[in-house]
Chain A
Amino acid sequence: MFEQLTNKLDGIFRKLTSRGKLTPSNIRETLREVRRVLLEADVNYKVAKSFVAKVEEEAVGDEVISSITPGQKVIKVVHDKMVEFLGGTTVEFNLPRSEPTRIMLVGLQGSGKTTLAGKLALFLRERQWAPALVAADIYRPAAGEQLRILGNSVNIPTVVFENKESPLDTCKRAGKIAGSKGWDALIFDTAGRLQIDQKMMDELILLKKKLSPEMILLVVDAMTGQEAVSVAEEFEKRLVVDGFALTKLDGDARGGAALSLRAITGKPIIFAGTGEKLNALELFHPDRMASRILGMGDVVTLVEKAEKVFDEEQARELEKKIRKQQFTLEDFYTQLQQIKKMGPMENLLGMIPGMGKLKTQDINFDERELVKVEAMISSMTMDERRNPGIINGSRRKRIANGSGTSVQDVNRLLKQFKLMKKMMGSMSKLGSKFLGL
């Protein structure tokens, strides 16, 4: 599905570029497609609607229509608007100092609160805090034990409710002993609950009232669909949250929920959870999230980089070759020279939609490899470069000797080239700007 969506965006792009100038009506058609992409990324129906309306206001402006590259302009408007919707820039993590500072984690069942509590403690300790964990989930079997094990694994103290103690009492008790223990931050892990569960929501309201935490974070699973809106709405209405943590971003969910959270509450997404391990926590980056939701990889950066390096003429020439599957090792060699100007290969590959997976499995180009590859290609004859099919066993041996590599290296290069060629065929739709890759 990811590929499908990427192709769809490419489709929009292609339609726009091939038509040349934009008219208000084909912009609208494009926006319909954009809306569809948003819905498929789990952006809430209503949020998608209002987002597209905002984009339209800007996209139908003169600047876009009179542009020579209107397609890219529209995509850029969509992307920029999305970044803006998601909060613009990364939120600095500024936690007020108090005695002790209290953070309360809330959210639906299984969203990742307990794990996030552990991550956050680690995060704070790295920033010179002395945090402790407080287990205030008395409902889920072994929830206290889970937090304790997590805390122990990174040497962070944990306060767990004792027999019959209420969540409020446990939190209060932790607050009382914090000073003597030297803890300056407490992280309250609360039980998962549905936003429509009045009794359980009342429990949180009581905790908030009695403890007045400096920060309440709503923890949301990145795989959440349309429901993100009512969850955010209700928690915000009942409790007023300070921000969000989006978890499980290490999967392939597009994460449109992020847009919904922000649009509904205006509160920032502060953290991104990217794994089960406690060090898998990052600050949230609106620009990366926008690209992810749009299924673009980091295409925008890529376009900017490529624009600097490739001239149009060359790119068009290449595009033709790739379409006709005439791309040769000779062209590849020229390309490699230019790609080198664009920065580390690893970064570039990561920016291409759909390449994430290929990157690790099939095309393992690291920089040193690149040097080897250059050496191997320069040891080939023109004929061999143009027609790799003729490179038999003895030729492989010769190339290996000539370039100071092994026959296995040559084999791998040829295999990778073949794969790359195939991939480029499907990628040629991305537009001539990308064809250097």
Chain B
Amino acid sequence: MRLFKRKKLEDSLYKTRKSLLTKIGELVGIKKNIDSGFLGELEEILITSDIGVKATLEIIHDLENRVMEQKTRDSGEIYVLLKEELKRILYYDKSVLKDITPPEVILIAGVNGTGKTTTIAKLAYRFKEEGKKVLISAADTFRAAAQEQLGVWAERLGADIVQSQAGADAASVAYDTVEKAILKGYDCVIIDTAGRLHTKSNLMEELKKVQRVISKKHEGAPHEILLVIDATTGQNGILQAQAFNQALNITGIVLTKLDGTAKGGIVLAIKKELNIPVKYVGIGEKLEDLIEFNPEEFVEDIIGK
């Protein structure tokens, strides 16, 4: 199937977005010396990126200290310091590799409509390209046509899928998938779950059950539990991360829809508060529109070059 040839990133909307953002960055870059309004402008940049008031004030406070230490008054240098600070916050050590007995199981969760199902298709595509044998689990048994949606994706990318009837028990679908993957020697299992608001305790319990059942079937699984967050999300993102993390011990975040103009700054606040790293970024609706998270690029987007 050559239908989904890897599209050049430069062709995507992601580029449009970037040039838009760079313009903003240029505007910001004009200011040369720090006056009283300068920190206010930094504040505006950070807050309009959805980083949040609390994290913004903390970041600016730390920045002020560093400015004092370095006795600099040049705005250019201050931008450099700010970028360093943001990158420091976002940094995580990728090199730590877990020792995994295959199949590797990845559980995907998040609030409604963030892009979970699409992300699963993209991940499966990615792993397939790496030569792995992937099994997808359609454990969203609740939303209308969730099964069909993932089914279409599985067919397009040529991956195997375990489906069920609408209304079936999500945990048993997940269990069946893992069981099949073990029996048939798959390298990797990706499990879709229904979108749910983190405030609904019964639904969060259901999710915990999915996780419990998987870990009983396959020791060490799920190896990766990814929370999918929409880049347009505001401060509610922190509450989402807190609640999902409490229920599941999230191992990473997928930040979707970064091809829009939203900057997704909430992940900075989440990393700062909960130390959950961003692992992937969604930049479109096609299979190849998933990239590994790159703190440098992300920070350049927020602050401008």
Contacts and interface: CB of A to CB of B under 8 A. Distances in A.
Contacts of A149: 144-145, 166
A196 B149 contact: no
Interface string B110-121: 011111000000
Nearest to B266: A225
Contacts of A231: 232
Contact of B232 (A2, A150, A224): A224
Given A40-B52, A251-B198, A276-B112, A196 B260 contact: yes
A110 interface: yes
Contact of B115 (A39, A110, A141): A110
Q: Closest 6 interchain pairs by CB?
A: A225-B234, A110-B113, A42-B234, A141-B152, A146-B145, A142-B148
B249 interface: no
Contact of A252 (B48, B148, B239, B259): B239
Contacts of A251: 111, 197-199, 236
Nearest to B121: A141
Contacts of B111: 223, 248, 251
A223 B53 contact: no
A109 B143 CA distance: 16
Interface string A225-256: 11110110000000000000000101111101
A419 interface: no
Nearest to A197: B13
Interface in B215-255: 230-239
A257 interface: yes
A323 B40 CA distance: 39
A194 B260 CA distance: 6
Contact of B236 (A42, A108, A230): A42
Given A39-B53, A250-B197, A1 B235 contact: yes
A253 B236 contact: yes
B285 interface: yes
B87 interface: no
Nearest to A39: B53
Given A39-B47, A39-B53, A140-B149, A110 B114 contact: yes
B101 interface: no
Q: Per DSSP, are chain A's interface residues mostly helix, strand or loop, or mixed?
A: loop
B17 interface: yes
A248 B112 contact: yes
Interface in A134-159: 139-143, 145-146, 148-150, 153
Contacts of A257: 234
Given A36-B53, A226-B262, 4 more contacts: A39-B52, A146-B148, A227-B231, A253-B236
B122 interface: no
A41 interface: yes
Interface centre among A145, A223, A256 (most CB of B within 10 A): A223
Contacts of B145: 142-143, 145-146, 148-149
A196 B44 contact: no
A229 to B, nearest CB: 9
A111 interface: yes
A146 B149 contact: yes
A142 B163 CA distance: 15
Given A142-B152, A248-B197, A108 B144 contact: no
B117 to A, nearest CB: 8
A145 B230 CA distance: 24
B261 interface: yes
A108 B198 contact: no
A186 to B, nearest CB: 20
A330 interface: no
Given A39-B47, A142-B145, A109 B262 contact: no
Interface string A49-85: 0000000000000000000000000000000000000
Interface string B52-66: 111000000000000
Interface in A194-211: 194-197
B262 A227 contact: yes
A252 B261 CA distance: 24
A276 B235 CA distance: 22
B277 interface: no
B148 A226 contact: no
Interface string A255-288: 0110000000000000000001000000000000
B83 interface: no
A45 interface: yes
Contact of A142 (B16, B50, B151): B151
A225 B232 contact: yes
Contacts of B262: 225-227
Contacts of A142: 145, 148-149, 151-152
B52 A141 contact: no
15 contacts: A42-B236, A44-B48, A108-B257, A142-B152, A145-B144, A146-B144, A146-B148, A149-B145, A194-B260, A221-B230, A221-B232, A227-B261, A248-B112, A251-B197, A252-B198
Contacts of B17: 196
Nearest to A38: B53
B149 A141 contact: yes
B153 interface: yes
B141 interface: no
B7 to A, nearest CB: 15
Interface string B139-172: 0001111001111110010000000001000000
Interface string A109-124: 1111000000000000
Contacts of B112: 110, 112, 248, 276
A110 B233 CA distance: 12
Contact of A111 (B13, B113, B143, B239): B113
Contact of A226 (B49, B115, B198, B239): B49
Contacts of A221: 113, 230, 232
Nearest to B54: A40
B115 A1 contact: no
Interface in B184-233: 197-199, 230-233
A40 B143 CA distance: 31
B261 A230 contact: yes
Contacts of B238: 1
Contacts of B235: 1, 40-42, 225, 253-254
B34 interface: no
B236 A252 contact: yes
Given A196-B13, A196-B16, A226 B50 contact: yes
